[in-house]
Amino acid sequence: MTSGEFVSNCTADALSSAAQLLKAGGLVALPTETVYGLGADATNKDAVSRIYKVKGRPADHPLIVHIHSMQSLGEWADEIPSYAISLARDFWPGPMTLVLKRSMLAEDFVTGGQPTVGLRVPDHVVALALLSAFENIGGKGIAAPSANRFGHVSPTTAHAVQDELGDFLDATDLILDGGPSSVGVESTIIDCTGELPHILRPGAITTAMITGSTGLIVSEEKSTIRVSGSLENHYAPEAKVYLDQIPNVGDGFIALEEIATPRGVIRLASPKDNDEFARVLYSALRSADTQKLSRITILQPLGDGIAIAIRDRLERASHGR
């Protein structure tokens, strides 16, 4: 296959063409504030099946449906609890996915055969403009997992999408360039099918923020719902990832700026704080592979907030591909 067209000037005309391509069953890689997604019409079984093929993704792994606003919640979900409405009001557009009981619109091919659907309103001007253009021609939502091969490092730039998926896309598919992702790790996924909210994947929307919005404690109960990025090994570069160790000579090294680089070690990133750590993490992991490094040593950030999401991704990455 030849690679998709790379569109860096996301004009209204370009976004209108991208929406038409989605309606016709094509794939569009789109920027969001978390990571870049590989999008298809969420109601088109053949188009969605191409996402799975391009990514090499297991068919029972559900996709997140991106919608333009919370007004579309009722089209995709049934039995929406009041706390889910509170979360949507407070954090959409934003890096949060709500898992709800699905409506008839959400079919098995997008939910991984589960009775639930994951929904999100992304906080990115290009993504929202594309969703609006798609809605204007009758589109209901865009199914969009991260635009990478299954289990690999998620892309946070359009060039990373090209590097990752260029050989798997058709010439008619599009890659929209909306600049680097501002958050850098995937959305918080919250199960809203029970009496209490339950975090299925940590992200930038934290336990404290969820409690502040809903007035509810966050459930710690075990969930059987399958969601993206929940496998033990995920988000992994080709290089082997080692956590909280003294790096060897020749290792790639990622740590907060205040931590000095040991002699003979290749510094991949020196983030000033945890937010920047999240933002640069995936591009730093990709840089190690570009440099053909065999090992990456990472000193993980401490504390709550987005540091929890960073440690979650790194723990999975350390298990390899």
Summarize pLDDT for 37-80 with one digit per residue, the tens: 999 999 999 999 999 999 999 888 999 999 999 999 999 999 99
Instruction: Assign 236 a pLDDT band (cuts: 50, 70, 90).
Output: confident
Instruction: Assign 232 a pLDDT band (cuts: 50, 70, 90).
Output: low
Q: Helix axis angle, 158-165 relative to 274-290, nearest 10°? A: 40
User: CA-based Rg of the chain, rounded to a whole angstrom?
Assistant: 19
CATH topology of domain 240-317: Rossmann fold (3.40.50)
Q: Are 154 and 184 in contact (CB under 8 A)?
A: no
Task: Give the model confidence (pLDDT) of 240-289 as tens digits.
Answer: 999 999 999 999 999 999 999 999 999 999 999 999 999 999 999 999 99
Q: Give the largest CA-CA distance in the chain.
A: 59
| 76: DSSP letter | H
Q: Are 117 and 192 in contact (CB under 8 A)?
A: no
Q: What pLDDT score does 272 carry?
A: 98
Q: Indicate where the chain has its CATH 3.90.870.10 domain(s).
A: 5-214
Q: What is the dihedral angle through the alpha carbons of 280, 281, 283, 285, rounded to the nearest 10 degrees?
A: 150
Task: Tell me the mean pLDDT in the region 221-239.
Answer: 81
**Tokens linked to 80:** 């929406």
Task: Tell me the mean pLDDT in the region 210-223.
Answer: 93
**How far apart are the C-alpha atoms of 182 and 77, rounded to whole Å?**
28
State the amino acid at position 223 in one-letter form. S
Q: Are 253 and 296 in contact (CB under 8 A)?
A: yes
Give the CA angle between residues 288, 171, 38 to the nearest 5°. 55
**How far apart are the C-alpha atoms of 239 and 306, rounded to whole Å?**
24
Q: Are 242 and 268 in contact (CB under 8 A)?
A: no
Q: What is the CATH number of domain 5-214?
A: 3.90.870.10
**Tokens linked to 34:** 């978390």
Within 8 A by CB and 6+ apart from 139, the residues are 19, 22, 23, 41, 131
Sign of the dihedral defined by the CA atoms of residues 165, 167, 172, 176, in that order: positive
Residue 1 pLDDT > 60: no
Q: What pLDDT score does 263 carry?
A: 96
Helix (H, G, I), strand (E, B) or coil at 228: coil
Q: Indicate where the chain has its CATH 3.40.50.11030 domain(s).
A: 240-317
**How far apart are the C-alpha atoms of 30 and 123, rounded to whole Å?**
12
The residue whose two tokens read 């598919």 is 173
Q: Helix axis angle, 306-317 relative to 274-290, nearest 10°? A: 20
Task: Give the model confidence (pLDDT) of 161-180 as tens digits.
Answer: 999 999 999 999 999 999 99
Q: What is the mean pLDDT of the chain?
A: 95
Could you tell me the pTM of the whole model? 0.95
DSSP 196-216: S-EEEE--SS-HHHHHHHHSS
Beta bridge partners of 297: 242, 253
